[in-house]
Amino acid sequence: MLGIYSSFAVAFSYISPSTGIFTLYATGLGLGGPAFFWTWPIVAFGQLLVALNFAEVSSHFPVAGSVYQWTKYLTNRHYSWWTGWIYLFAGILTVSGVMATIPLILLPFLKSIGMNVDPTSLDQQRVVAVLTLISTTLLSIFGVRLVAIINNTGVVFEILGMVIFALILLIFYHHQDASVLLNGHPLSATGANSLGVFFAAMFMSLFVIFGFDTASTLAEETKNPRRDAPRAVLLALGGAFVIGTIFLFATLIAIPGNVDQFVADTAAGKHPFALQDIIQSNFPGWLASIYLLVITAAVYVCCLAIQTATIRLAFGMARDGKLPLGRVYNKVNPALHTPVGTCIVIGVLAGIPFLYYAGAPTIAVMATGMIYISYLLANIAILMARFRGWPTEKTPFKLGSWGMVVNITALVWGGAMIVNFMWPRDVNAGAANPPFNSLANLPSWLANSPLGNVWLFELVLGLILVIGAIYYAFAQRNMPETQAIKPAEAVAS
């Protein structure tokens, strides 16, 4: 049986502050200036409300599948299916997003050691991302024990890459004082535009701080799951917040030269790898290369953790008869002890965004928005259960009379962030959620089609909902109830 550290490690590797920060650091800095730092505690507090709610549910239902499984217990098969469907594609898009982060770090590393690569080339980024996806898919199929070992050691890479090197920056390479965090650049404007810019700069923090619910993924294999699953949820969130705070502060203090000029250049696209530029302009070449290699390892662990969690979710849904052709591919190989078909299906679906690759930030925003919709649906299910008198059972973690307040506040937070994802913004400002036809190199017949003027996030969400509605109408609407898995009980250590 596993201990709390393994559950914590899975969720922490899923959150992986290094992955999200390296993906969207330039976006946050270019839009919000150093003041985008303050989006970090705001998002952490909002997600803490969600995590508290999820921690209480995980104490009652410590089973693999988190959001999908919880709604099975708290609502009905129709609601839980839709929640699981959206959550599954959110996971698949997240797999794509973290795979696309690897080249953002690996290519600058390869260039720093003299290899002839172009980190800004979307084609080269795509090749590295797809090769990474193939490797993690093969590991998921053949290396289940190795995956567990890598996940457990992933925390070490995160701490080394995000804390140790951050402290080195603070001690030896601080070029700015703490007041730089009040330098808002675009945020110095007033009115609706400044508010929109601040919310757009928030996307980096939003992309980092989710996935804590996966701490309950190993609950069925964990000692004292009702006690340890909630602890792992909150520890993963708290650990990510502390480490991310230290790292963000250190890198902003380490911006070389004139801050306003660096931010303006980042906003103009002259620093597409702003974080890597900060690191390489401060550290000696050999140390910067080692650092990028360590971060690449941390992000690779994140790739494995997210893909493993998504495969487990798909396996659980297919086992329940909730996915198309699930009975065909959802079989555990007797020799490898892994659902080979499910691993391949998730790998193939995660590769689809690379057929037309518009950059890691675009995938990251789509994935994050889908995750937040999934969390909102889960919180609605929990609130409906509370109105019916849940919880009635005593568990090690409970919110008591605060449960309703936390639940409703988490819903307000989640709803506001979904509006943020759907908010149309000026494409020229570099903000998220552009119209579909603004993507580079889009075929003219597609750009000029009716889909061209649809906002990208709404288009992705709409396609997933339409496909889901067709499948639901023909295959799921009249399906019988699926028996819920019995929650794990405490096991004597």
Supply the Cα-derived Rg of the chain in whole angstroms.
22
Q: Which of 8, 62, 5, 6 is nearest to 489 (CA)?
A: 62
pLDDT of residue 415 exceeding 80, the answer is: yes
Looking at residue 451, its pLDDT comes to 83
| % of the chain beyond a pLDDT of 90 | 52
Q: How far apart are CA 432 and CA 424, in angstroms?
A: 8
Looking at residue 491, its pLDDT comes to 41
Average pLDDT over residues 240-263: 94
Whether the CB-CB separation of 378 and 371 falls below 8 Å is answered with: no
Q: How far apart are CA 486 and CA 73, in angstroms?
A: 10
Whether the CB-CB separation of 232 and 395 falls below 8 Å is answered with: no
Whether the CB-CB separation of 13 and 155 falls below 8 Å is answered with: yes
Average pLDDT over residues 99-126: 94
Q: How far apart are CA 102 and CA 132, in angstroms?
A: 8
Average pLDDT over residues 274-302: 91
Q: What is the largest CA-CA distance in the chain?
A: 65
Secondary structure (DSSP) of 102-134: HHHHHHHHHHHTT----TT-HHHHHHHHHHHHH
Q: How far apart are CA 226 and CA 97, in angstroms?
A: 32
Question: Which neighbouring-strand residues pair with 455?
Answer: 435
Looking at residue 412, its pLDDT comes to 97
pTM of the full structure: 0.91
Whether the CB-CB separation of 264 and 89 falls below 8 Å is answered with: no
Looking at residue 12, its pLDDT comes to 79
| % of the chain beyond a pLDDT of 70 | 88
How far from 198 is each of 8, 20, 99, 247, 445, CA to CA, in Å?
31, 18, 27, 20, 35
Q: Report pLDDT digits (tens) over 309-318.
A: 899 899 989 9
pLDDT confidence bin for 433, thresholds 50/70/90 = confident
Average pLDDT over residues 246-272: 92
Looking at per-residue pLDDT, the higher value among 260 and 434 belongs to: 260
pLDDT confidence bin for 190, thresholds 50/70/90 = very low
pLDDT confidence bin for 184, thresholds 50/70/90 = low
pLDDT of residue 148 exceeding 70, the answer is: no
Looking at residue 431, its pLDDT comes to 52
Write the DSSP symbol of residue 162: I
Q: What is the distance of C-alpha 210 from the center of its chain?
A: 5
Q: Report pLDDT digits (tens) over 69-97.
A: 899 889 988 999 999 999 999 999 999 99
Classify 435 as helix, strand or coil.
strand
Q: How far apart are CA 208 and CA 121, in angstroms?
A: 24
Spell out the domains of the chain, with CATH numbers in brackets: 4-476 (1.20.1740.10)
State the helix-helix crossing angle for 39-60 and 403-422, rounded to 10 degrees.
130
pLDDT confidence bin for 61, thresholds 50/70/90 = confident
- Tokens linked to 316: 């659980």
Write the DSSP symbol of residue 486: P
How far from 414 is each of 10, 46, 84, 291, CA to CA, in Å?
24, 8, 17, 35
Ramachandran class of 432: left when φ > 0, alpha when ψ lies in -120 to 50, beta otherwise: beta
Looking at residue 482, its pLDDT comes to 64
Whether the CB-CB separation of 84 and 71 falls below 8 Å is answered with: yes
pLDDT of residue 410 exceeding 50, the answer is: yes
Write down the H helix ranges in 38-163. Answer: 39-60, 66-74, 77-99, 102-112, 122-142, 144-159
How far from 395 is each of 55, 58, 386, 401, 467, CA to CA, in Å?
11, 10, 15, 14, 39
Write the DSSP symbol of residue 472: I
Burial (CB < 10 A; 0-12, 13-18, 19+), residue 174, is: middle
Looking at residue 228, its pLDDT comes to 82
